[in-house]
Chain A
Amino acid sequence: MKTDASNKSDRAEAEPTVAMAPIPVWLMAALLVLLYFGAWYFDLYGGWFDAKVYAPYRSIPDLARYQPNSDPDANFIAFGKKLYAANCAVCHMDTGVGNPANGCPPLIDSEWVGHETPDRMIMLISKGLTGPITVNGKVYNTGTMLAVGDSLPGDEKEKSTQIAAIASYVRRHFADLPGSVKPAHAEAVRTSIKDHPGNFTPEQLLKVP
Protein backbone atom coordinates (compact mmCIF):
# COMPACT_ATOMS: atom_id res chain seq x y z
CA MET A 1 0.00 0.00 0.00
CA LYS A 2 1.36 3.29 -0.96
CA THR A 3 -0.17 6.67 -0.55
CA ASP A 4 0.08 9.00 -3.35
CA ALA A 5 1.47 12.15 -1.83
CA SER A 6 4.54 11.91 -4.05
CA ASN A 7 2.55 11.97 -7.23
CA LYS A 8 0.55 15.07 -6.74
CA SER A 9 1.29 16.56 -10.09
CA ASP A 10 0.06 13.42 -11.76
CA ARG A 11 -3.36 13.91 -10.26
CA ALA A 12 -3.89 17.34 -11.62
CA GLU A 13 -2.82 15.92 -14.93
CA ALA A 14 -3.90 17.46 -18.18
CA GLU A 15 -6.58 15.80 -20.19
CA PRO A 16 -5.45 14.15 -23.41
CA THR A 17 -5.53 16.29 -26.49
CA VAL A 18 -6.43 15.29 -29.98
CA ALA A 19 -4.50 15.81 -33.20
CA MET A 20 -6.12 16.42 -36.55
CA ALA A 21 -4.46 13.88 -38.83
CA PRO A 22 -6.61 13.17 -41.89
CA ILE A 23 -8.22 9.84 -42.63
CA PRO A 24 -5.97 7.87 -45.00
CA VAL A 25 -7.31 7.49 -48.52
CA TRP A 26 -6.88 3.72 -48.58
CA LEU A 27 -9.35 3.43 -45.71
CA MET A 28 -11.99 5.29 -47.70
CA ALA A 29 -11.16 3.18 -50.73
CA ALA A 30 -11.58 0.02 -48.66
CA LEU A 31 -14.94 1.27 -47.46
CA LEU A 32 -16.11 1.95 -51.00
CA VAL A 33 -14.87 -1.39 -52.31
CA LEU A 34 -16.60 -3.26 -49.51
CA LEU A 35 -19.80 -1.27 -50.02
CA TYR A 36 -19.70 -2.07 -53.71
CA PHE A 37 -19.25 -5.78 -53.08
CA GLY A 38 -21.94 -5.72 -50.42
CA ALA A 39 -24.41 -4.17 -52.84
CA TRP A 40 -23.46 -6.61 -55.57
CA TYR A 41 -23.85 -9.56 -53.23
CA PHE A 42 -27.18 -8.31 -51.98
CA ASP A 43 -28.46 -7.88 -55.50
CA LEU A 44 -27.45 -11.45 -56.26
CA TYR A 45 -28.72 -13.26 -53.18
CA GLY A 46 -30.77 -10.81 -51.14
CA GLY A 47 -34.15 -11.42 -52.75
CA TRP A 48 -34.81 -7.69 -52.72
CA PHE A 49 -36.61 -7.57 -49.38
CA ASP A 50 -39.20 -10.14 -50.32
CA ALA A 51 -40.62 -11.80 -47.21
CA LYS A 52 -41.20 -15.06 -49.09
CA VAL A 53 -37.68 -15.51 -50.38
CA TYR A 54 -35.37 -17.54 -48.16
CA ALA A 55 -31.88 -18.79 -49.00
CA PRO A 56 -30.96 -20.78 -51.09
CA TYR A 57 -33.67 -19.29 -53.31
CA ARG A 58 -32.74 -15.94 -54.78
CA SER A 59 -36.00 -14.43 -55.94
CA ILE A 60 -39.67 -15.20 -56.44
CA PRO A 61 -39.09 -16.42 -60.04
CA ASP A 62 -36.33 -18.67 -58.74
CA LEU A 63 -38.64 -20.00 -56.02
CA ALA A 64 -41.37 -20.54 -58.62
CA ARG A 65 -39.06 -22.90 -60.51
CA TYR A 66 -39.31 -25.35 -57.63
CA GLN A 67 -43.01 -25.15 -56.89
CA PRO A 68 -44.79 -28.45 -57.23
CA ASN A 69 -47.48 -28.53 -59.88
CA SER A 70 -50.40 -27.15 -57.95
CA ASP A 71 -52.71 -29.58 -59.78
CA PRO A 72 -51.28 -33.00 -59.08
CA ASP A 73 -53.77 -34.53 -61.55
CA ALA A 74 -52.81 -32.34 -64.50
CA ASN A 75 -50.69 -34.99 -66.19
CA PHE A 76 -53.29 -37.66 -65.77
CA ILE A 77 -55.97 -35.40 -67.19
CA ALA A 78 -53.76 -34.56 -70.15
CA PHE A 79 -53.47 -38.27 -70.76
CA GLY A 80 -57.29 -38.54 -70.56
CA LYS A 81 -57.67 -35.73 -73.06
CA LYS A 82 -55.64 -37.63 -75.60
CA LEU A 83 -57.72 -40.78 -75.08
CA TYR A 84 -60.94 -38.76 -75.32
CA ALA A 85 -59.88 -37.33 -78.67
CA ALA A 86 -59.12 -40.83 -79.97
CA ASN A 87 -62.13 -42.68 -78.63
CA CYS A 88 -65.00 -40.33 -77.79
CA ALA A 89 -64.75 -37.16 -79.84
CA VAL A 90 -66.17 -38.85 -82.95
CA CYS A 91 -69.67 -38.65 -81.48
CA HIS A 92 -69.39 -36.31 -78.49
CA MET A 93 -67.16 -33.84 -80.32
CA ASP A 94 -63.99 -32.22 -79.02
CA THR A 95 -66.09 -29.48 -77.47
CA GLY A 96 -68.47 -31.93 -75.80
CA VAL A 97 -71.58 -30.60 -77.55
CA GLY A 98 -72.52 -34.08 -78.79
CA ASN A 99 -74.38 -34.83 -82.01
CA PRO A 100 -78.09 -34.54 -81.23
CA ALA A 101 -79.05 -35.35 -84.81
CA ASN A 102 -77.59 -38.82 -84.39
CA GLY A 103 -79.00 -39.19 -80.87
CA CYS A 104 -75.64 -38.51 -79.28
CA PRO A 105 -76.15 -36.39 -76.12
CA PRO A 106 -73.91 -33.46 -75.10
CA LEU A 107 -71.48 -33.76 -72.21
CA ILE A 108 -71.68 -30.08 -71.36
CA ASP A 109 -74.38 -29.22 -68.84
CA SER A 110 -75.08 -32.90 -68.41
CA GLU A 111 -76.27 -34.13 -65.01
CA TRP A 112 -74.65 -37.49 -65.87
CA VAL A 113 -71.23 -35.93 -66.21
CA GLY A 114 -71.69 -33.59 -63.27
CA HIS A 115 -72.82 -36.40 -60.96
CA GLU A 116 -71.09 -36.52 -57.60
CA THR A 117 -69.52 -39.96 -57.95
CA PRO A 118 -67.80 -41.22 -61.08
CA ASP A 119 -69.14 -44.78 -60.74
CA ARG A 120 -71.94 -44.43 -63.33
CA MET A 121 -69.53 -42.99 -65.83
CA ILE A 122 -66.99 -45.74 -65.31
CA MET A 123 -69.70 -48.37 -65.82
CA LEU A 124 -71.09 -46.60 -68.86
CA ILE A 125 -67.72 -46.22 -70.55
CA SER A 126 -66.79 -49.80 -69.76
CA LYS A 127 -69.87 -51.55 -71.07
CA GLY A 128 -71.61 -49.03 -73.31
CA LEU A 129 -75.27 -47.99 -73.21
CA THR A 130 -78.54 -48.87 -74.94
CA GLY A 131 -81.84 -47.01 -75.12
CA PRO A 132 -83.12 -43.45 -74.99
CA ILE A 133 -81.43 -41.29 -72.37
CA THR A 134 -82.63 -38.04 -70.76
CA VAL A 135 -79.98 -35.38 -70.52
CA ASN A 136 -80.71 -31.93 -69.16
CA GLY A 137 -84.47 -32.47 -69.63
CA LYS A 138 -84.15 -33.55 -73.24
CA VAL A 139 -84.56 -37.11 -74.52
CA TYR A 140 -81.92 -38.45 -76.90
CA ASN A 141 -82.76 -41.53 -78.92
CA THR A 142 -79.43 -43.13 -78.55
CA GLY A 143 -79.29 -46.40 -80.31
CA THR A 144 -76.23 -47.95 -78.77
CA MET A 145 -73.07 -46.51 -77.36
CA LEU A 146 -70.31 -49.06 -77.87
CA ALA A 147 -68.46 -50.66 -74.97
CA VAL A 148 -65.52 -48.34 -75.54
CA GLY A 149 -63.82 -49.17 -72.27
CA ASP A 150 -63.72 -52.91 -72.78
CA SER A 151 -62.28 -52.45 -76.23
CA LEU A 152 -59.33 -50.33 -75.05
CA PRO A 153 -55.91 -51.99 -75.44
CA GLY A 154 -54.00 -53.62 -72.59
CA ASP A 155 -54.81 -55.78 -69.61
CA GLU A 156 -57.48 -55.12 -67.01
CA LYS A 157 -55.24 -52.78 -65.01
CA GLU A 158 -54.33 -50.69 -68.00
CA LYS A 159 -57.93 -50.51 -69.18
CA SER A 160 -58.95 -49.24 -65.76
CA THR A 161 -56.22 -46.60 -65.84
CA GLN A 162 -57.31 -45.36 -69.27
CA ILE A 163 -61.00 -45.31 -68.31
CA ALA A 164 -60.12 -43.38 -65.16
CA ALA A 165 -58.13 -40.92 -67.25
CA ILE A 166 -61.02 -40.38 -69.68
CA ALA A 167 -63.49 -39.97 -66.84
CA SER A 168 -61.13 -37.54 -65.11
CA TYR A 169 -60.78 -35.45 -68.23
CA VAL A 170 -64.52 -35.38 -68.94
CA ARG A 171 -65.43 -34.52 -65.36
CA ARG A 172 -62.80 -31.81 -65.07
CA HIS A 173 -63.23 -30.35 -68.53
CA PHE A 174 -67.01 -30.45 -69.05
CA ALA A 175 -68.33 -30.29 -65.50
CA ASP A 176 -65.50 -28.47 -63.74
CA LEU A 177 -65.29 -31.07 -60.99
CA PRO A 178 -62.11 -31.03 -58.88
CA GLY A 179 -59.70 -33.89 -58.48
CA SER A 180 -59.45 -36.97 -60.63
CA VAL A 181 -60.76 -40.51 -60.79
CA LYS A 182 -58.21 -42.90 -59.38
CA PRO A 183 -57.29 -45.95 -61.50
CA ALA A 184 -57.69 -48.18 -58.45
CA HIS A 185 -61.23 -46.96 -58.03
CA ALA A 186 -62.05 -47.60 -61.67
CA GLU A 187 -60.60 -51.07 -61.35
CA ALA A 188 -62.74 -51.81 -58.30
CA VAL A 189 -65.87 -50.63 -60.09
CA ARG A 190 -65.01 -52.70 -63.15
CA THR A 191 -64.43 -55.77 -61.01
CA SER A 192 -67.93 -55.38 -59.55
CA ILE A 193 -69.55 -55.26 -63.04
CA LYS A 194 -67.30 -57.87 -64.59
CA ASP A 195 -70.12 -60.32 -65.19
CA HIS A 196 -72.67 -57.87 -66.51
CA PRO A 197 -73.86 -59.05 -69.91
CA GLY A 198 -74.19 -56.55 -72.77
CA ASN A 199 -74.78 -52.84 -72.40
CA PHE A 200 -76.27 -50.91 -69.50
CA THR A 201 -79.59 -49.08 -69.73
CA PRO A 202 -80.09 -45.64 -68.21
CA GLU A 203 -82.46 -47.14 -65.62
CA GLN A 204 -79.82 -49.59 -64.44
CA LEU A 205 -77.27 -46.82 -64.11
CA LEU A 206 -79.61 -44.54 -62.16
CA LYS A 207 -79.76 -47.15 -59.39
CA VAL A 208 -76.05 -46.73 -58.81
CA PRO A 209 -75.25 -44.03 -56.27
Chain B
Amino acid sequence: MVFLTAFVALAISWSGFVLVTQLQLGRVDQAKTIPAGEAYPLARSGQAMQGAEVYRSLGCVYCHSRQINQQGTTVEVTLVNAGTNSANVLGAIRTVAPQFGQIESLANVPKVLGQVADTAAADSLVTAISEAGGQAMVEILPSGPDISRHWGTRRSVAQDYIYDPVVQPGVRRFGPDLTDAGRMHPDAQWQLLHLYAPKTVVKDSTMPGHRFLFEQRKLGRNPTPEALPLAGDFAPPAGYEIVPTEAARSLVAYLLSLRADAPLYESPVTPPVPPATNDVAVVTK
Protein backbone atom coordinates (compact mmCIF):
# COMPACT_ATOMS: atom_id res chain seq x y z
CA MET B 1 0.00 0.00 0.00
CA VAL B 2 2.69 2.43 1.07
CA PHE B 3 4.87 1.15 -1.69
CA LEU B 4 2.09 1.71 -4.18
CA THR B 5 1.70 5.33 -3.06
CA ALA B 6 5.39 5.94 -3.48
CA PHE B 7 5.37 4.23 -6.85
CA VAL B 8 2.43 6.23 -8.16
CA ALA B 9 3.79 9.54 -6.85
CA LEU B 10 7.20 9.06 -8.37
CA ALA B 11 5.80 7.64 -11.58
CA ILE B 12 3.65 10.73 -12.08
CA SER B 13 6.51 13.10 -11.49
CA TRP B 14 8.82 11.02 -13.66
CA SER B 15 6.38 11.09 -16.54
CA GLY B 16 5.85 14.80 -16.03
CA PHE B 17 9.36 16.11 -15.78
CA VAL B 18 11.33 13.41 -17.60
CA LEU B 19 9.07 11.80 -20.16
CA VAL B 20 6.92 14.75 -21.19
CA THR B 21 9.93 17.05 -21.25
CA GLN B 22 11.71 14.63 -23.54
CA LEU B 23 8.65 14.40 -25.78
CA GLN B 24 8.21 18.16 -25.86
CA LEU B 25 11.79 19.30 -26.09
CA GLY B 26 13.97 16.26 -26.74
CA ARG B 27 13.65 16.51 -30.48
CA VAL B 28 13.84 20.26 -30.79
CA ASP B 29 15.93 20.91 -33.85
CA GLN B 30 17.38 23.89 -35.62
CA ALA B 31 14.68 26.52 -35.99
CA LYS B 32 14.25 29.47 -38.29
CA THR B 33 14.70 32.90 -36.85
CA ILE B 34 11.75 35.26 -37.16
CA PRO B 35 11.41 37.12 -39.45
CA ALA B 36 14.79 36.65 -41.17
CA GLY B 37 14.36 32.88 -41.57
CA GLU B 38 17.96 31.95 -40.84
CA ALA B 39 18.82 28.60 -39.31
CA TYR B 40 19.51 28.75 -35.56
CA PRO B 41 21.55 27.65 -33.73
CA LEU B 42 24.59 26.77 -35.77
CA ALA B 43 26.81 23.87 -34.74
CA ARG B 44 30.03 24.76 -32.94
CA SER B 45 33.53 24.27 -34.26
CA GLY B 46 35.54 21.28 -33.05
CA GLN B 47 37.79 23.48 -30.95
CA ALA B 48 34.81 25.11 -29.28
CA MET B 49 33.37 21.68 -28.51
CA GLN B 50 36.65 20.76 -26.81
CA GLY B 51 36.36 24.02 -24.94
CA ALA B 52 32.93 22.97 -23.70
CA GLU B 53 34.62 19.97 -22.08
CA VAL B 54 37.13 22.27 -20.38
CA TYR B 55 34.25 24.46 -19.21
CA ARG B 56 32.55 21.44 -17.65
CA SER B 57 35.71 19.97 -16.19
CA LEU B 58 36.77 23.20 -14.47
CA GLY B 59 33.31 23.57 -12.96
CA CYS B 60 32.70 27.04 -14.38
CA VAL B 61 28.98 26.42 -13.78
CA TYR B 62 29.51 26.73 -10.03
CA CYS B 63 29.89 30.49 -10.47
CA HIS B 64 28.42 31.35 -13.85
CA SER B 65 24.87 30.84 -15.03
CA ARG B 66 23.93 30.63 -18.66
CA GLN B 67 20.27 31.55 -18.74
CA ILE B 68 18.57 34.88 -19.25
CA ASN B 69 15.35 35.74 -17.49
CA GLN B 70 12.87 38.18 -18.84
CA GLN B 71 10.19 40.02 -16.96
CA GLY B 72 8.25 41.68 -19.72
CA THR B 73 8.16 42.68 -23.35
CA THR B 74 7.41 46.06 -24.90
CA VAL B 75 6.72 47.03 -28.46
CA GLU B 76 8.11 50.40 -29.45
CA VAL B 77 7.53 52.42 -32.61
CA THR B 78 10.23 54.74 -33.87
CA LEU B 79 9.73 57.30 -36.61
CA VAL B 80 12.66 57.04 -38.99
CA ASN B 81 11.65 59.56 -41.62
CA ALA B 82 8.89 62.14 -41.44
CA GLY B 83 8.65 62.47 -45.23
CA THR B 84 7.70 65.65 -47.09
CA ASN B 85 4.47 66.38 -45.35
CA SER B 86 5.10 65.99 -41.64
CA ALA B 87 1.73 67.49 -40.71
CA ASN B 88 0.14 64.67 -42.66
CA VAL B 89 2.26 62.08 -40.79
CA LEU B 90 1.45 63.69 -37.46
CA GLY B 91 -2.24 63.53 -38.35
CA ALA B 92 -1.94 59.85 -39.21
CA ILE B 93 -0.20 59.15 -35.88
CA ARG B 94 -2.90 60.97 -33.94
CA THR B 95 -5.67 59.12 -35.72
CA VAL B 96 -4.25 55.65 -35.27
CA ALA B 97 -2.56 56.12 -31.90
CA PRO B 98 -4.34 58.82 -29.92
CA GLN B 99 -2.15 58.00 -26.90
CA PHE B 100 0.72 59.79 -28.67
CA GLY B 101 -1.30 63.01 -28.85
CA GLN B 102 1.28 64.92 -26.82
CA ILE B 103 3.80 64.68 -29.67
CA GLU B 104 3.94 68.18 -31.13
CA SER B 105 6.65 68.04 -33.73
CA LEU B 106 8.35 65.37 -35.74
CA ALA B 107 11.73 67.05 -35.89
CA ASN B 108 14.90 65.20 -34.86
CA VAL B 109 14.23 61.86 -36.50
CA PRO B 110 14.76 59.05 -35.69
CA LYS B 111 12.31 59.76 -32.92
CA VAL B 112 10.87 57.20 -30.51
CA LEU B 113 7.11 57.68 -30.63
CA GLY B 114 6.39 55.39 -27.69
CA GLN B 115 5.11 51.99 -26.68
CA VAL B 116 2.08 50.31 -28.15
CA ALA B 117 0.15 47.31 -26.89
CA ASP B 118 1.30 44.70 -29.37
CA THR B 119 2.81 44.23 -32.78
CA ALA B 120 -0.57 44.40 -34.52
CA ALA B 121 -1.12 47.90 -33.14
CA ALA B 122 2.43 48.79 -34.10
CA ASP B 123 1.92 47.57 -37.63
CA SER B 124 -1.24 49.55 -38.19
CA LEU B 125 0.56 52.65 -36.94
CA VAL B 126 3.51 52.01 -39.24
CA THR B 127 1.18 51.42 -42.18
CA ALA B 128 -0.60 54.68 -41.51
CA ILE B 129 2.71 56.49 -41.30
CA SER B 130 3.90 54.96 -44.59
CA GLU B 131 0.69 55.92 -46.28
CA ALA B 132 1.17 59.46 -45.09
CA GLY B 133 4.61 59.42 -46.70
CA GLY B 134 6.73 58.80 -43.59
CA GLN B 135 8.73 55.80 -42.49
CA ALA B 136 8.68 54.08 -39.13
CA MET B 137 9.97 50.90 -37.59
CA VAL B 138 8.80 48.52 -34.89
CA GLU B 139 11.06 47.22 -32.17
CA ILE B 140 10.19 44.31 -29.88
CA LEU B 141 12.14 44.90 -26.68
CA PRO B 142 12.31 42.27 -23.93
CA SER B 143 12.94 43.76 -20.51
CA GLY B 144 14.29 42.72 -17.14
CA PRO B 145 17.46 43.19 -15.11
CA ASP B 146 19.41 40.51 -16.99
CA ILE B 147 18.67 42.22 -20.26
CA SER B 148 19.44 45.68 -18.86
CA ARG B 149 22.81 44.30 -17.79
CA HIS B 150 23.38 43.34 -21.45
CA TRP B 151 23.88 39.69 -20.50
CA GLY B 152 21.45 38.79 -23.26
CA THR B 153 18.88 40.34 -25.55
CA ARG B 154 15.97 38.02 -24.76
CA ARG B 155 15.00 35.16 -22.46
CA SER B 156 16.72 31.82 -22.99
CA VAL B 157 14.69 29.02 -24.53
CA ALA B 158 15.24 25.33 -25.25
CA GLN B 159 16.55 26.10 -28.73
CA ASP B 160 19.61 27.85 -27.34
CA TYR B 161 21.03 24.66 -25.81
CA ILE B 162 20.58 21.97 -28.44
CA TYR B 163 24.24 21.90 -29.47
CA ASP B 164 25.68 21.85 -25.96
CA PRO B 165 27.18 18.46 -25.12
CA VAL B 166 26.48 19.01 -21.40
CA VAL B 167 23.73 21.51 -20.71
CA GLN B 168 24.60 23.73 -17.77
CA PRO B 169 22.18 26.60 -17.26
CA GLY B 170 23.62 27.09 -13.77
CA VAL B 171 21.92 28.44 -10.67
CA ARG B 172 24.56 30.78 -9.30
CA ARG B 173 25.73 34.21 -10.29
CA PHE B 174 28.88 34.71 -8.28
CA GLY B 175 30.20 35.73 -11.67
CA PRO B 176 28.20 37.29 -14.51
CA ASP B 177 25.90 35.29 -16.76
CA LEU B 178 27.67 33.95 -19.85
CA THR B 179 24.74 33.49 -22.25
CA ASP B 180 26.10 36.08 -24.63
CA ALA B 181 29.77 35.98 -23.61
CA GLY B 182 30.83 35.86 -27.25
CA ARG B 183 28.87 39.02 -28.06
CA MET B 184 29.97 40.88 -24.92
CA HIS B 185 33.69 40.29 -25.41
CA PRO B 186 34.37 39.05 -28.93
CA ASP B 187 38.11 39.54 -28.54
CA ALA B 188 40.04 36.30 -27.93
CA GLN B 189 42.97 38.18 -26.44
CA TRP B 190 40.66 39.80 -23.86
CA GLN B 191 39.29 36.38 -22.92
CA LEU B 192 42.77 34.89 -22.51
CA LEU B 193 43.98 37.78 -20.35
CA HIS B 194 40.82 37.46 -18.29
CA LEU B 195 41.44 33.77 -17.72
CA TYR B 196 45.07 34.30 -16.77
CA ALA B 197 44.60 37.25 -14.46
CA PRO B 198 41.04 38.60 -14.38
CA LYS B 199 42.08 41.86 -12.76
CA THR B 200 44.08 42.89 -15.84
CA VAL B 201 40.86 43.51 -17.74
CA VAL B 202 38.16 43.77 -15.05
CA LYS B 203 39.43 45.82 -12.14
CA ASP B 204 36.89 44.65 -9.54
CA SER B 205 36.86 41.03 -10.61
CA THR B 206 36.53 38.42 -7.86
CA MET B 207 37.30 35.55 -10.20
CA PRO B 208 40.38 33.50 -9.36
CA GLY B 209 42.99 33.48 -12.10
CA HIS B 210 43.41 30.20 -13.92
CA ARG B 211 47.16 30.24 -14.35
CA PHE B 212 47.35 26.50 -14.69
CA LEU B 213 45.81 26.91 -18.13
CA PHE B 214 48.93 28.77 -19.21
CA GLU B 215 52.52 27.83 -19.62
CA GLN B 216 55.42 29.92 -18.40
CA ARG B 217 58.11 29.56 -21.03
CA LYS B 218 61.68 30.78 -21.16
CA LEU B 219 61.90 33.56 -23.69
CA GLY B 220 63.59 32.31 -26.86
CA ARG B 221 65.23 34.45 -29.50
CA ASN B 222 61.85 35.52 -30.84
CA PRO B 223 58.88 35.87 -28.52
CA THR B 224 56.06 33.41 -29.22
CA PRO B 225 53.39 35.24 -31.22
CA GLU B 226 50.51 34.08 -29.00
CA ALA B 227 52.25 35.06 -25.73
CA LEU B 228 50.08 37.30 -23.56
CA PRO B 229 50.93 41.00 -23.41
CA LEU B 230 51.33 41.34 -19.64
CA ALA B 231 52.80 44.25 -17.76
CA GLY B 232 53.14 45.50 -14.21
CA ASP B 233 52.06 43.23 -11.36
CA PHE B 234 50.89 40.48 -13.65
CA ALA B 235 54.01 40.21 -15.81
CA PRO B 236 56.03 36.99 -15.62
CA PRO B 237 59.62 37.17 -14.32
CA ALA B 238 62.05 38.76 -16.74
CA GLY B 239 63.14 36.41 -19.48
CA TYR B 240 59.87 34.46 -19.41
CA GLU B 241 56.65 34.66 -21.33
CA ILE B 242 53.13 33.35 -20.70
CA VAL B 243 51.72 31.18 -23.45
CA PRO B 244 48.16 29.79 -23.42
CA THR B 245 47.85 26.02 -23.52
CA GLU B 246 45.58 24.13 -25.87
CA ALA B 247 42.98 23.92 -23.09
CA ALA B 248 42.94 27.69 -22.64
CA ARG B 249 42.60 28.28 -26.36
CA SER B 250 39.73 25.86 -26.77
CA LEU B 251 37.98 27.26 -23.68
CA VAL B 252 38.21 30.71 -25.24
CA ALA B 253 36.90 29.35 -28.55
CA TYR B 254 33.92 27.99 -26.61
CA LEU B 255 33.34 31.25 -24.76
CA LEU B 256 33.44 33.17 -28.02
CA SER B 257 30.87 30.77 -29.47
CA LEU B 258 28.38 31.62 -26.69
CA ARG B 259 25.69 33.73 -28.29
CA ALA B 260 21.97 33.46 -27.91
CA ASP B 261 20.33 36.52 -29.42
CA ALA B 262 18.58 35.08 -32.46
CA PRO B 263 14.90 36.10 -32.58
CA LEU B 264 12.73 33.00 -32.25
CA TYR B 265 9.00 32.40 -32.14
CA GLU B 266 9.16 31.43 -28.45
CA SER B 267 11.18 34.50 -27.59
CA PRO B 268 10.52 37.36 -30.01
CA VAL B 269 12.98 40.22 -30.10
CA THR B 270 14.11 42.77 -32.64
CA PRO B 271 17.76 42.00 -33.20
CA PRO B 272 20.16 44.91 -32.80
CA VAL B 273 20.71 46.65 -36.14
CA PRO B 274 23.70 45.14 -37.93
CA PRO B 275 26.22 47.57 -39.41
CA ALA B 276 24.81 49.02 -42.62
CA THR B 277 26.23 47.64 -45.85
CA ASN B 278 25.64 49.51 -49.05
CA ASP B 279 25.02 46.70 -51.49
CA VAL B 280 23.36 48.59 -54.31
CA ALA B 281 23.63 46.85 -57.66
CA VAL B 282 25.43 48.84 -60.27
CA VAL B 283 23.17 49.27 -63.22
CA THR B 284 24.72 49.36 -66.65
CA LYS B 285 23.01 51.22 -69.31
Q: Is the CB of B71 within 8 A of A188?
A: no
A75 contact set on B, CB distance < 8 A: 123, 126-127, 130
The yes or no answer to B47 lying at the interface (CB within 8 A) is: no
The yes or no answer to B120 lying at the interface (CB within 8 A) is: yes
B91 contact set on A, CB distance < 8 A: none
The yes or no answer to A68 lying at the interface (CB within 8 A) is: yes
- Residues of chain A touching chain B, judged by Cβ–Cβ distance below 8 Å, are 49, 51-57, 63, 65-72, 74-76, 78-79, 82, 117, 119, 153-155, 158, 184-185, 188-189, 192-193, 196, 208-209
B71 contact set on A, CB distance < 8 A: 56
Q: Is the CB of B126 within 8 A of A55?
A: no
Q: Is the CB of A188 within 8 A of B127?
A: no
Q: Is the CB of A65 within 8 A of B119?
A: yes
A78 contact set on B, CB distance < 8 A: 127, 130-131
Q: A117 to B280: give the CA distance in the assembly, Å.
A: 13
Which residues of B (232-285) have their CB < 8 Å from a CB of A? Answer: 263, 265-268, 270, 278, 280-285
A193 contact set on B, CB distance < 8 A: 283, 285
| 0/1 interface trace, chain B 72-86, chain A, CB 8 Å (1 if under) | 110100000001100
Q: Is the CB of B285 within 8 A of A192?
A: yes
Q: Is the CB of A66 within 8 A of B75?
A: yes
B75 contact set on A, CB distance < 8 A: 66
With CB as the reference atom, state the residue of chain B lying closest to A192.
B283
B278 contact set on A, CB distance < 8 A: 184
The yes or no answer to B189 lying at the interface (CB within 8 A) is: no
The yes or no answer to B164 lying at the interface (CB within 8 A) is: no
- The listed residue (B84, B133, B270) touching A68 by CB distance below 8 A is B270
Q: Is the CB of B84 within 8 A of A158?
A: yes
